[in-house]
Amino acid sequence: MSQRSFHIWLTVLQREYVTRVRRRAFLVATLLGPVLWVGLIAGMVLLTQSTESPAKVWVVDHDGLLTIPTDGEQFLPSCPSCYPDRSLLDYRFGRETKDVKELQREGFTCMVELDEGILQSEKAQLLHLEPPTGKTKRWMQRDLSQALERLKVREQSNLNYEDYLALKTNVVLLGIDITTGEQKGAGQGGLGFIFSLFMLTFVLVYGMHVMRGVIEEKSNRIVEVVLSTVRPGQLLAGKIAGIGLVGLTQIAAWALLSWALMLGVGMAIEQSSWMESWTATQGLASGTADFQTVLAAEEDLAFLLDINWGVMLGCGAMYFVLGYAMYAAFFATIGAMVEQEADAQYLMLPVMMPLLFSYVLASMTIDAPESTLAIISSFVPFSSPVSMMVRLPMGVPWWHVALSMTLLAGTAAFFVGLAARVYRVAILMYGKRPTFREIIRWTLRPDSGAL
């Protein structure tokens, strides 16, 4: 690119960027975004907490706290009524642990190990092949808590209300992936889903910004003045880059504001009286715990400390840039083909389909981000920006990310090139919508038709 061409491209980019970032709507969205997202995250956590998944649980009762043996070396719960009949949750009891192969062969999805220590700590490990959803896990915690309470009550006599309250038990299950030893749970899936929703929204919103920009230039006829100085390809590239930069600015602003918000909330919690009482209940010395300690102790939130936020944000930004570039090319082509936004509606549907499909897939794989479907869709360029976001919080092999990004970058470059060929002709066509045959002809012709 010559210096003059670069100057023109930069001038177009600057106009697209400046006119958008100073709009009141952009400033409001940027400032309110983190607040809304925090609310949405809370909503999503609630949602994941309320979904249920089938689970067959092998309960290892090493010290015979919850089970009684039968003749056939089988163990039955000593409190059958503590485990209500639920269609998706099935318990089996024993005294010995099983290895991964045994669990798989016998169809178990997870294993809970109990010994006498749980009576004090109220914590047990949940070793899973497939992580249960929040709701299923909560059922398991409630069932085991009831069974342990029953055990404690049985050992007491002359129980008064204060004693009863002291016997109340709240078992916390610490989810661990039995194959990797990593702590994984619904939290990561939920977070990944939030990120995928975030990606879908950004790609669509900024892609449509490009389309509207193209339609504006075409419908108010300013494009002919611009094209007497700027090549169509330069105009399109400047527009896509400028609007993409607006998106990146918003992502960066949201990340910074969210970080500041978390920091503020953390500091407020650390200095509150609640922190003192929490420290005391955890048996910690006063002043030794901070906000991170609280997060680490709360099993539903502890995963936040395990997330590699640098990788998440870095990959998120890259997937946005590449995914946005590809979809912006599609949207720009649509914009060039029509003279008003209403005409673009039905052309947008096929373009949005892959994104919407990957969103549906993301919602389906929220509990199983490593399923074959999720992995394949994270490589397919049309869906990878959204699908990979679900997988990233779980930790993804680096080569998966590299391959997925390479495929996406290549596909994006290919479609941006094709879009530029259609755009340069269609943008000056008035009173007639190009036919499919014409579009194919333009994409095959390397000569731009312009000087």
Partner 1 sequence: MATPVLHTQGVTKAFGDHVALSPLDVEVMEGRIVGLLGPNGAGKTTLLRMVTGITKPDNGELKMWGEPHHRKLLSRMGYLPEERGLYKSMRVAEQVLYFATLRGMNRMEAERDLKGWFERLEVEGWWNREVADLSKGMAQKIQFIATVLHRPELLILDEPFSGLDPINAALVRGEMLRLVQEEGTTLVLSTHDMGSVEALCDEVILLHQGRKVLAGPTDTVREDARRGRIRVVMRGNLMAFVAELGARAELLSKSTSQVKSNEGQSVHQLEIALPDGWPMPDFLSWAVNHVEVLEAVPLKLSMEEVFVQSVESAGS
Q: Which residues lie near partner 1 (CB under 8 A)?
A: 4, 7-8, 11-12, 15, 19, 23, 216, 220-222, 224-231, 428, 449-451
Least separation in angstroms between residue 221's CB and partner 1 is 4
CA-to-CA distance for 324 and 381, rounded, in angstroms? 11
CA-based R_g, the chain, Å: 28
Smallest separation (angstroms) from partner 1 to the CB of 361: 37
> Whose Cβ is closer to partner 1: residue 137's or residue 218's?
218
The residue among 225 and 440 lying less far from partner 1, judged by its C-beta, is 225
Q: Could you tell me where the beta strands, DSSP code E, fall in 185-305?
A: none
Q: DSSP label at 91? A: E
311 burial level (CB within 10 Å; 0-12, 13-18, 19+): middle
CB atoms within 10 A of CB 196: 29
Q: In this structure, how many other beta carbons lie within 10 angstroms of the beta carbon of residue 28?
A: 10
Instruction: Name the residue among 109, 83, 113, 108 with its Cα closest to residue 96.
Output: 113
**Looking at this protein, which amino acid is placed at residue 399?**
W
Q: What share of the chain is helix, strand, coil (3-state, %, to 5)?
A: 65, 10, 25
- DSSP letter assigned to residue 337: H
Smallest separation (angstroms) from partner 1 to the CB of 332: 17
Q: Closest separation between CB of residue 224 and partner 1, Å?
A: 4
What gap in Å lies between CA 122 and CA 112, rounded to an integer?
13
Q: Locate tokens 């100073």: which residue?
A: 22
Residue 101 vs 432, nearer CB to partner 1: 432
Contact status, residue 230 vs residue 12, Cβ threshold 8 Å: yes
Structure-token pair, residue 448 = 């731009």
Task: Based on DSSP, count helices (H) and strands (E) in the chain, helices before strands.
Answer: 18, 7
In the complex, the smallest distance separating the C-beta of residue 261 from partner 1, rounded to whole angstroms, is: 31
Whichever of 189 and 233 has its CB closer to partner 1, that residue is 233
Name the residue nearer to partner 1 (CB basis): 38 or 428.
428
Residue with Cβ nearer partner 1 (157 or 435):
435
Nearest to 240 by CA among 451, 4, 441, 12: 12
Measured from the CB atom, is 273 or 435 closer to partner 1? 435
Query: Considering the complex, what minimum distance in angstroms separates the CB of residue 250 from partner 1?
Result: 17
The smaller minimum CB distance to partner 1, of residues 23 and 105, is found at 23
**Smallest distance, Å, CB 236 to partner 1?**
15
Return the number of the residue (228 or 286) whose C-beta is nearest partner 1.
228
- Minimum separation from the CB atom of position 142 to partner 1 (A): 56
Residue closer to partner 1, measured from CB, 222 or 263: 222
Neighbours of 356 (CB within 10 A): 14
Torsion of CA 42, 45, 47, 52, to 10 degrees: -160
Contact call for residues 344 and 335 (beta carbons, < 8 A): yes
In whole angstroms, the minimum distance from the beta carbon of 351 to partner 1 comes to: 25
Buried b (16+ CB within 10 A) or exposed e, 382-402: bbbbbbbbbbbbbbbeeebbe
Least separation in angstroms between CB 217 and partner 1: 8
